[in-house]
Structure 1
């Protein structure tokens, strides 16, 4: 599906998504026209899904990060869907993951401080439907976080 030239382009693109196609072409050893066509093809195929702005939420005053492991009432036919729909409406929920196993879902939550987290937990999280158990994990340090794909 991808050849060596595509992989070179993607490596350069991951390293510097704001680079122009001419800059990417030079770094990948291709002509600008060839690089541009390949970028367009990879976007059309959904390999490149877009460029996004990444905002450091800590710089905005959010100092607390918590992971909540949620167990749902699986006897309710729409438990996952109803829970996810409610969790999507909470602005402080940055991530929702679902699992097969003992834990059904994980929410990644940010808060300004512990008091703000308690407010979110009591007023928003505990009102979500179909929850039977919650386990909270307070983040201490992010040891590794990398969205780059090995190419």
Structure 2
């Protein structure tokens, strides 16, 4: 699906995502029109799904990161859907993952400090519907968080 030029383009853009398509073309020694066509083809194929701003939540005053492993009470027919809908409504929930196995859902939650976390826990997390079991893990350090792919 990807040829060597596509891979080179994606590697270069991952290395410097601030490059415009014209700057990317210049850096690669290719005509801008060819790079623009390749970018459009990669978007149409779903390889490039968009460009985004990456915001460091720590710089905005959020100093606590918690990972919640949740098992749901699944006796209600729509328990999973109702839980996910409610979890999406909590602004401090920045990531939701679903699993097969003993744990059903993992929530990534941020808080300004421990006082804020306690309020979130009591007022927002513990009130989510269909909770059967919940384990909270506080992040001590992020050792690796790489978004670039090995192309």
TM-score bucket (shorter structure) = over 0.9
Unaligned runs of 5+ in 2: none
- 1:100 — aligned with what? 100
Quote the offset at 1:56 in angstroms.
Answer: 1.0
- 2:133 — aligned with what? 133
Distance 2:86 2:134 in 1: 16
Runs of 4+, deviation exceeding 6 Å: none
Question: How many residues are aligned here?
Answer: 151
- 1:40 — aligned with what? 40
- 2:80 — aligned with what? 80
- 1:52 — aligned with what? 52
1:149 is paired with a residue whose SS is coil
- 2:11 — aligned with what? 11
2:7 is paired with a residue whose SS is helix
- 2:22 — aligned with what? 22
Most deviating of 10-19 and 26-35: 26-35
2:27 is paired with a residue whose SS is helix
Could you tell me the TM-score, scaled by structure 1's length?
Answer: 0.95
Root-mean-square deviation (CA), in Å?
Answer: 1.1
Distance 2:83 2:16 in 1: 37
1:34 is paired with a residue whose SS is helix
Most deviating of 49-58 and 137-146: 49-58
Unaligned runs of 5+ in 1: none
Distance 2:29 2:47 in 1: 20
